[in-house]
Amino acid sequence: MNREQEHYALRQELDLTPPALEGLFGKAEARARKRRIVRNGLLMSLGTIAAMFTLFVAMVNVFPTVASAMERIPGLQRLTVAVSFSPSLREAVEHDFAQPVGLEQTVNGFTKRIEYVIVDQQQLHVFYTLDTPEDLDVIPFSWASLFSSEGEPFYNYHMLSMSGPLHHRNSNLRQLLAIEVLDQMPDSLIVESGVLTFAVEGEGPEVLATFTFHLEFDPALIEQAEIITLDQDFILDGQRLTVTTVEIFPTLMWVNFSADESNTAWLRGLNFYFVNESGRHFFPPSDSVVATGPTGCLHSPDEPMLTTHRLESAFFAESQSLTMHIVGAVWLDKDRTHMRVDLANERADWLSDGIQRLYYARRSEAGWYLAFMLYERELRHIPPHTIRSLFMPLSALDEAGNAHRTREWRDYERHEGLKLYDYPYDIVYLPLWYSRIVRLEAPIEIQVK
C-alpha cells in the first residue's frame, strides 16, 4: 500500500471531533481539503489551462530541441506539457529519453493506457491516461506496485502519484514516479496498478480495477550516469559531515553524505543548490522525494540522518564546473528527539524550532487533541521542499516508553496538531521530525567538479 492509500485509509478510521473543537478543526480540515483538491487537479481553472498552453507554445517557439523532439515522436505535445514544470524531465524529453509505450487495457469499464516512460538507473516515470465509467458515483484513486519480470516484488522504493484523485474521461497525461527501485534499474519490470475507492465509511478500500503491464526499457538509456567521488569533509553549524559522492543521472542528481559519530545532531534537511560555470542553478525538485536515509527510508528511528539529498539534474547541461552552495540545514538534536508535553497543564518543557507556543491541549472521550501555533513560514527559515511535517508519524511515547497511535492534522499557514488515540495519561513525549533549523550567514561552497 502506498502513501496515498495509507493516508485515505487512516482518514476513514478517524472518529468524530469533539463538539468543543468542531469549529477550529472544521476550518483547518476545510482549508487543507481545498488545497488538496486544487493541488491534485480535480478543479483545473481555465486560467491554468491557458497558462499551460501558453508555456507549451513558448517552448516550441523558443527551444528548437522541443519542436524537433515532437517531430520524432508522434503525440509528444501532451508529454511536453506534462513535464514542463520539471527541468530535468523537460531536458530528458528534449534529448530523446522519453520512450513511447502504447500499451492499453480495459477492466470493468476502466481503460488505462501507458503512453511513455522516462527511466534511468534510479528513477522510473510512467505517464498514462485512465478513463473511468461515466456512471461512476464515487471518487477513485490510483495505486501501483512494482515486480521483476519473474514476478518477484520489489521493496524499499518510493511510489508517488503525481496526479491525485481521478475524474471521468481524463485525457490528460497522469504520472507515477518510482524512486530507488534497485541499485540498478532492470531492463524490464512489471507494473501492477489499479483503481480503488473508499466507498463505505469505516471499511477498507474497494478495488474497482487492476491492470498489469510488462514494461521493457532501452538499456542504453539506463546505463548513462556520471558518478563523482569527493569524500570531502566540512563543518556545518558545528557538525562534521562528509560529502561522499555526487551521482548525476538524466532525471535527477543525488548528493550523498556521511556524518561523524561524535556529532550532537542528525541532519534532517539541507537548504542547498548547485551552480555551473554559466551561472545556471540546480535546486531540489518540487515533484519528488528530496531526501532519504541509508536504505531509502524517510521515517526510521534506526536511521535518523537523511544521507541522500536530491537536486534537479545537471546531466544534459554538460557542465565543466559544478559548485555546491549550502545556505542552511535542518537538525534533529540527539538529546531532543522527543518534545515533552504536560497535557493537563497545557505546557511543553521546550518547543521545537518554528513553534511559537502550545495553542491548546484538550481531552475527549477518544483521547487528546493538541494544537501548536507556528511562526510564519518565512520566520521559521524553512528550506523549500524540505519540511513536510513537524512530528514523526503515527506514534508518541508515554513516560514508560510505550508507543501510542497518533494522527497529525495540518494547517500550513499557522497551526499543526496531533490527535492522541485513547491516551489515558497527562504526560506525553512527541516524536519530532526536527528540533532545530539554521540559516547560515555565509554559504558553504564545495567544488564538485
CB 223 within 8 A of CB 214: no
Distances (CA, A) of 15 to 84, 138, 239, 403: 41, 22, 44, 20
CB 290 within 8 A of CB 386: yes
Residue 62 scores a pLDDT above 90: no
CA atoms within 13 A on the CB side of 297: 11
pTM of the full structure? 0.76
Confidence of residue 114 (pLDDT cuts 50, 70, 90): very high
pLDDT per residue as tens digits for the range 266-284: 999 899 999 999 999 999 8
Per the model's pLDDT, the better-predicted residue between 395 and 338 turns out to be 338
Distances (CA, A) of 172 to 71, 88, 237: 20, 20, 46
CB 268 within 8 A of CB 319: no
Task: Output the pLDDT for position 315.
Answer: 94
Task: Output the pLDDT for position 158.
Answer: 76
Task: Output the pLDDT for position 283.
Answer: 92
Task: Output the pLDDT for position 188.
Answer: 94
Task: Output the pLDDT for position 275.
Answer: 97
3-state SS string for the chain: CCHHHHHHHHHHCCCCCCHHHHHHHHHHHHHHHHHHHHHHCCCCCHHHHHHHHHHHHHHHHHCHHHHHHHHHCCCHHHHHHHCCCCHHHHHHHHCCCEEEEEEEEEECCEEEEEEEEEECCCEEEEEEEEECCCCCCCCCEEEEEEECCCCCECCCCEEEECCCCCCCCEEEEEEEEEECCCCCCCCEEEEEEEEEECCCCCCCCEEEEEEEEEEECCHHHHCCCEEEEEEEEEEECCEEEEEEEEEECCCCEEEEEEECCCCCEEEEEEEEEEEECCCCEECCCCCCCCEECCCCCCCCCCCCCCCEEEECCCCCCCCCCEEEEEEEEEEEECCCCEEEEECCCCEECCCCCCEEEEEEEEEECCEEEEEEEECCHHHHCCCCCCCCCCECCCEEECCCCCEEEEEEEEECCCEEEEEEECCCCCEEEEEECCCEEEEEEEEEEEECC
Question: Which three cell numbers, joined as nine digits, stand for 14?
Answer: 478517524
Task: Output the pLDDT for position 136.
Answer: 77
Per the model's pLDDT, the better-predicted residue between 95 and 160 turns out to be 95
For the chain, give the mean pLDDT.
78
Confidence of residue 374 (pLDDT cuts 50, 70, 90): confident
CB 404 within 8 A of CB 421: yes
Task: Output the pLDDT for position 133.
Answer: 84
Least confident of 195-204, 330-339, 423-432: 195-204
Residue given cell 493516508 in the structure block: 7
pLDDT per residue as tens digits for the range 396-417: 999 999 999 888 776 656 778 8
Q: What is the length of the chain?
A: 449
Confidence of residue 9 (pLDDT cuts 50, 70, 90): very low
Residue 2 scores a pLDDT above 60: no
pLDDT per residue as tens digits for the range 102-112: 999 999 998 99
User: Structural domains in the chain?
Assistant: 3-222 (2.60.40.1640), 226-334+439-447 (2.60.40)
Per the model's pLDDT, the better-predicted residue between 439 and 232 turns out to be 232
Confidence of residue 141 (pLDDT cuts 50, 70, 90): confident
Quote the Cα angle for 89-93-96, to 5°: 135
- The C-alpha torsion from 154 through 155 and 160 to 161, rounded to 10°, is 50
Q: Which of 230, 252, 437, 250 is nearest to 324 (CA)?
A: 230
Task: Output the pLDDT for position 171.
Answer: 60
Largest CA distance in the chain: 68
Edge-to-edge strands, sheet with 188-197: 141-147, 188-197, 206-216
- φ/ψ of 183, rounded to 5, equals -60, -30
